[in-house]
């Protein structure tokens, strides 16, 4: 048995991703975003989160997925990593699960291994359900905007 | 004089100096022949002494003075550094450190340093310590320091005057019974009684120490009253658990005698405490440790102070909370405006007024006069001039100008750099000056003044000025500038090269400046304070460095404007005026859009183009609103769609994730809860 951990589960398209709960500050419904000019296209702007100005990025855009319309289900997950506070726009976020750290396998080797960078690993929740664990510090590494292809299998 | 405001600065700087003293002493121990290090140590000790003396920490300054004497001999090669000298100096440093520590903790920085002082004196006399002579001296000075009850000048004159005016001045010594359990309580009763009939001028131990039962069995005090001595004595003895009470009526002579510090006088009237003190002082001075707490003299008459010292962190918290409040205020104003209920509007308006007053006060709380930075410069310039063999007058004006505390804390170093620069590179040597037909004595002017939302600090010398060609040559050599660019550069651009990293034009590297680190650090530092530094110079006539600093770093007045659906804030400090122009006034000149403004033409920029605002096109408009902004003397106009109004805004940063964006200085939260970006117009003016 490895360590027990709690993970926030969110969706981008059909896939489910996980972020350790202690990295997540809050989950907010969609709110007005102020556009910031002259920056990456996936940076949607800044929001006012109870008096603090926080940049938000569209995680679909960050991973090179086609951007989607915002719906009732769209959420902004505020994460804290590397002393940065950033909001992630995701399709939905509605689950917290307990995970055994042993059940996380190292990310699959894909040609070039580029997309693996953003991942901590893949957790198998059930036979059909796989959860992609995000490597936040890499996702927030703004020096690098590399397309992450959709992960299969 | 109230020294409170300087105290924290004194503590900080003392710690710095002690640190550097320690480091340099260690280095000197490795290389005892390096007189350069001795110089550095000497300078630090010297500064420390000066500061301590100004602040009235006599023990501190007298000890440093003795250290200085020793160092002076070493420096002039009259004394060779030896093991025991190092030991004594290190001991002195430790003593200094504990004194500064004491001051930091709110103490008086008193300590019995007599043994160290006498060792240092012995060294100066050329003796090795440990001999008999210093011992004796130790005793003498120790007992002097410990004499029963020492009045300072002020207290003495109060007593003396009281006698003249016909009051009775009494010296009272009260001994409490041995078996008394609550000495402090008894002592309190005595004080209580005495204060009913007169005034206690000074007590030994001090009232605080008595309250904490830090006394043996007896305490003594000076007292002014109208009552008869005998009557008071019986009153005191009437209190329970009082063993004895000596009440001596003093006249001018006996007062002087008592206070003269002569042992006999003190011992006769107050034998117990002196003996006790002498006992404890002797062994401690023998092993040369500082009985820091022991020797603490009673607190000097606590003059009523109208200031309190507040932790800067608390002020920061206050400021943050206030910022939150300000955001809510704008939100409330907005809501009240929408709801349109007169009683609500009135209340909100009143609240706005109160909070503006509050804002002024909160901002003022953080303001410190630049004098607190400037006041150390005259000495510095004097010393520098001396060491460079130049004659320089430093003229300071506007020292009362106030700046935010955070800025004050940071601005010291850059200014030191600039001043050193002016003294070292700016003002010429005496013979050069005479040859150039200038007066022997050079002037360096240090000027501070307010202008708009900014404070300017200028350092101007009447020296040789900056040689454009020299800088260019050097820049070409260093590869900072290409030959093709050199000719077209304006003077100012050339001068700004001085701020490039690793750039120094001084032919001879002195220990004062010219190592090429420095000016670029100055620029970085000032820019980190959202300030701007610029240079004006006339060859042969002098140079002026001008530093522009924001008054405060967190709340500014701004003009809110609208472009398309987006709202932006422009700091009022950079706005010259707002206006309206006709489309047909816009001229295209060599690819630039210009508009006539006053007597000239200024460039016109479209904010919606600069920020690629979606869904807004002003080219269809007949008339366009413009904001004329300035950076220094240069002007430019920005087109906007609409003006919303003026507002106090709280500057927030955009978060670490976003890289710094050209033209955006930060963000603020508007009354409706939306975030608006703050435009930095300086970025648009080249």
The catalytic residue among B17, B46, B150, B417 is B46
Place A89 in a pLDDT band, splitting at 50, 70 and 90: very high
**pLDDT over 50 (residue B145):** no
pLDDT at residue B289, rounded to an integer: 40
Instruction: Please state, in angstroms and rounded to a whole number, the distance separating the CA atoms of residues A62 and A71.
Output: 19
Above pLDDT 70, what percent of chain B?
Answer: 84
Q: In CATH, what class is B153-269? A: alpha beta
Which chain B residues are closer than 8 Å to A35 by Cβ? 566, 614
The token pair at B596 is 């006539």
pLDDT at residue B452, rounded to an integer: 62
pLDDT at residue B154, rounded to an integer: 72
pLDDT at residue B232, rounded to an integer: 79
Q: What is the mean pLDDT of residues B58-79?
A: 81
pLDDT at residue B278, rounded to an integer: 41
**pLDDT over 80 (residue B392):** yes
Q: Which residues of B touch A (CB under 8 A)?
A: 323-324, 327, 566, 610-614, 652-659, 661-664, 667, 669, 673-677
pLDDT at residue B560, rounded to an integer: 93
* Tens-digit pLDDT profile for residues B204-250: 777 777 777 777 777 788 788 887 778 878 878 777 777 778 787 77
- Torsion angle of C-alpha atoms B254, B257, B261, B267, degrees rounded to 10: -60
N-term to C-term CA, chain A: 24
Cβ contact B478:B484 at 8 Å: no
pLDDT at residue A116, rounded to an integer: 64
Q: Do residue A53 and residue B652 have CB atoms under 8 angstroms apart?
A: yes
Could you say which architecture CATH assigns to the domain B555-684? Answer: Roll (2.30)
* Chain B nearest C-alpha distance from A51 (Å): 7
Produce one character per residue of B131-150: b if its CB has 16 or more CB atoms within 10 Å, e if not.
eeebbebbbebbbebbbbbb
Q: Do residue A37 and residue B659 have CB atoms under 8 angstroms apart?
A: no
The token pair at B81 is 């550094």
CA nearest A106: which of A93, A98, A116, A94?
Answer: A116
Question: In this predicted structure, which of B47-61, B297-311, B417-431 has the lowest mean pLDDT?
Answer: B297-311
Cβ contact A23:A137 at 8 Å: no
* CATH classification for the domain delimited by A4-139, as one of 3.40.190.10, 2.40.50.180, 3.30.70.260, 3.30.70.380: 2.40.50.180
* Tens-digit pLDDT profile for residues A13-48: 888 888 989 889 999 899 889 999 888 888 899 998
Q: How far is CA B528 from CA B410, B525, B532, B553, B655, in A?
A: 10, 5, 9, 11, 16
Q: How far is CA B441 from CA B391, B431, B465, B536, in A?
A: 5, 11, 16, 22
**pLDDT over 70 (residue B267):** no
Place B251 in a pLDDT band, splitting at 50, 70 and 90: confident
Please identify which residue in the block is written with the tokens 């060599």. B590
Instruction: Please state, in angstroms and rounded to a whole number, the distance separating the CA atoms of residues B104 and B7.
Output: 9
DSSP H helices, chain A, are: 59-62, 136-139
CA nearest B439: which of B450, B449, B431, B447?
Answer: B431
CATH number of B369-550: 3.30.565.10
* Tens-digit pLDDT profile for residues B149-175: 667 777 777 777 777 777 778 888 888
* Chain A nearest C-alpha distance from B567 (Å): 9
pLDDT at residue B317, rounded to an integer: 84
Instruction: Please state, in angstroms and rounded to a whole number, the distance separating the CA atoms of residues B38 and B166.
Output: 57
* Tens-digit pLDDT profile for residues B176-192: 777 777 777 777 778 77
The token pair at B597 is 């403004």
| pLDDT, averaged across chain B | 76
Compare CB distances from A35 to B566, B610, B656 and report the shortest one's residue. Answer: B566
The domain made up of B4-146 is a member of CATH 3.40.50.2300: no
Question: In this predicted structure, which of A13-17, B106-110, B667-671 has the lowest mean pLDDT?
Answer: B106-110
* Tens-digit pLDDT profile for residues A99-143: 887 778 776 665 444 466 677 788 887 777 888 888 887 788 766
- Could you tell me the pTM of the whole model? 0.47
Which chain B residues are closer than 8 Å to A49 by Cβ? none
Q: What is the mean pLDDT of residues B88-111?
A: 79
Catalytic status, residue B213: no
Instruction: Please state, in angstroms and rounded to a whole number, the distance separating the CA atoms of residues B69 and B126.
Output: 12
Q: What is the mean pLDDT of residues A62-81?
A: 86
pLDDT at residue B574, rounded to an integer: 83
The token pair at B316 is 């920061």
């Amino acid at each position: 048995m490895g360590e027990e951990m709690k993970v926030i589960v969110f969706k981008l398209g059909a896939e489910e991703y996980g972020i350790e709960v202690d990295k997540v500050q809050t989950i907010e419904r969609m709110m007005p975003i102020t556009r910031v000019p002259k920056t990456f296209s996936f940076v949607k702007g800044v929001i006012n989160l109870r008096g603090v100005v926080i940049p938000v990025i569209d995680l679909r855009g960050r991973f090179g997925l086609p951007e989607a319309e915002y719906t009732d289900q769209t959420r902004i997950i505020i994460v804290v990593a590397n002393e940065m506070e950033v909001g992630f726009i995701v399709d939905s976020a509605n689950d917290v699960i307990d995970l055994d750290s042993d059940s996380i396998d190292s990310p699959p080797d894909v040609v070039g291994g580029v997309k693996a960078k953003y991942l901590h690993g893949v957790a198998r929740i059930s036979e059909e359900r796989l959860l992609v664990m995000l490597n936040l510090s890499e996702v927030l590494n703004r020096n690098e905007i590399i397309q992450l292809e959709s992960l299969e299998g | 004089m109230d020294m409170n405001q300087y105290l924290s600065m004194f503590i900080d700087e003392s710690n710095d100096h002690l640190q550097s003293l320690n480091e340099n002493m260690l280095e000197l121990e490795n290389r005892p022949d390096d007189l350069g290090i001795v110089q550095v140590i000497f300078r630090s000790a010297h500064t420390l002494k000066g500061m301590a003396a100004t602040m009235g920490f006599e023990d501190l300054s007298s000890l440093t003075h003795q250290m200085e004497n020793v160092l002076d001999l070493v420096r002039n090669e009259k004394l060779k550094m030896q093991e025991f000298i190092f030991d004594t100096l290190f001991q002195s440093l430790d003593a200094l450190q504990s004194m500064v520590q004491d001051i930091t903790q709110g103490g008086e920085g008193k300590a019995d340093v007599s043994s160290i002082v006498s060792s240092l004196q012995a060294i100066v006399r050329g003796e090795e310590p440990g001999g008999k002579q210093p011992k004796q001296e130790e005793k003498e000075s120790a007992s002097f320091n410990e004499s029963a009850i020492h009045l300072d000048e002020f207290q003495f004159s109060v007593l003396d005057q009281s006698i003249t005016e016909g009051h009775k001045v009494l010296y009272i010594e009260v001994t409490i019974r041995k078996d008394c359990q609550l000495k402090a309580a008894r002592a309190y009763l005595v004080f209580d009684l005495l204060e009913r009939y007169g005034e206690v001028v000074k007590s030994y131990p001090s009232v605080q120490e008595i309250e904490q039962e830090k006394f043996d069995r007896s305490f003594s005090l000076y007292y002014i009253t109208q009552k008869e001595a005998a009557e008071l004595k019986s009153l005191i003895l009437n209190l329970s658990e009082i063993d004895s009470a000596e009440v001596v009526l003093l006249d001018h002579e006996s007062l002087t005698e008592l206070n003269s510090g002569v042992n006999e006088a003190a011992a006769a009237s107050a034998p117990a405490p002196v003996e006790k003190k002498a006992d404890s002082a002797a062994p401690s001075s023998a092993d040369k440790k500082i009985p820091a707490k022991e020797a603490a003299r009673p607190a000097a008459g606590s003059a009523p102070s109208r200031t309190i010292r507040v932790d800067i962190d608390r002020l920061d918290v206050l400021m943050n909370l206030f910022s939150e409040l300000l955001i809510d205020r704008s939100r409330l104003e907005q809501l009240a405006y929408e709801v349109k209920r007169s009683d609500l509007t009135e209340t909100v308006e009143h609240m706005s007024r109160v909070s503006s007053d509050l804002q002024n006060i909160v901002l003022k709380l953080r303001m410190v006069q630049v004098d607190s930075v400037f006041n150390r410069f005259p000495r510095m310039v004097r010393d520098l001039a001396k060491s460079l063999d130049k004659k320089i007058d430093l003229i300071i004006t506007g020292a009362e100008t106030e700046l935010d505390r955070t800025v004050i804390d940071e601005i010291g170093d850059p200014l030191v750099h600039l001043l050193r620069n002016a003294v070292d590179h700016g003002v010429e040597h005496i013979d050069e000056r005479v040859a150039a037909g200038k007066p022997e004595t050079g002037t360096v002017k240090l000027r501070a003044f307010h202008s708009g939302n900014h404070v300017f600090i200028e350092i101007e010398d009447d020296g040789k000025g900056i040689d454009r060609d020299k800088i260019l040559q050097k820049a070409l050599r260093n590869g900072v500038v290409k030959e093709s660019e050199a000719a077209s550069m304006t003077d100012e651009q050339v001068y700004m090269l001085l701020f490039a990293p690793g750039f120094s034009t001084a032919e001879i590297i002195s220990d004062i400046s010219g190592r090429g680190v420095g000016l670029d650090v100055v620029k970085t530092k000032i820019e980190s304070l959202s300030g701007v530094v610029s240079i004006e110079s006339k060859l042969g006539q002098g140079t002026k460095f001008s530093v522009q600093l924001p008054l405060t770093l967190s709340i500014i007045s701004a003009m809110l404007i609208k472009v398309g659906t987006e709202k932006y804030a422009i700091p009022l400090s950079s706005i010259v005026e707002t206006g309206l122009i006709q489309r047909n006034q816009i001229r295209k000149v060599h690819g630039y859009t210009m508009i006539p403004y006053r007597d000239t033409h200024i460039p016109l920029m479209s904010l919606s183009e600069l920020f690629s605002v979606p869904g807004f096109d002003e080219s269809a408009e007949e008339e366009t609103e413009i904001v004329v902004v300035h950076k220094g003397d240069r002007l430019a106009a920005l087109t906007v769609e609409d003006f919303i109004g003026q507002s106090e805004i709280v500057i927030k940063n955009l978060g670490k994730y976003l890289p710094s964006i050209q033209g955006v200085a930060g963000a603020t939260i508007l009354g409706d809860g939306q975030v608006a970006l703050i435009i930095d117009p300086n970025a648009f003016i080249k």
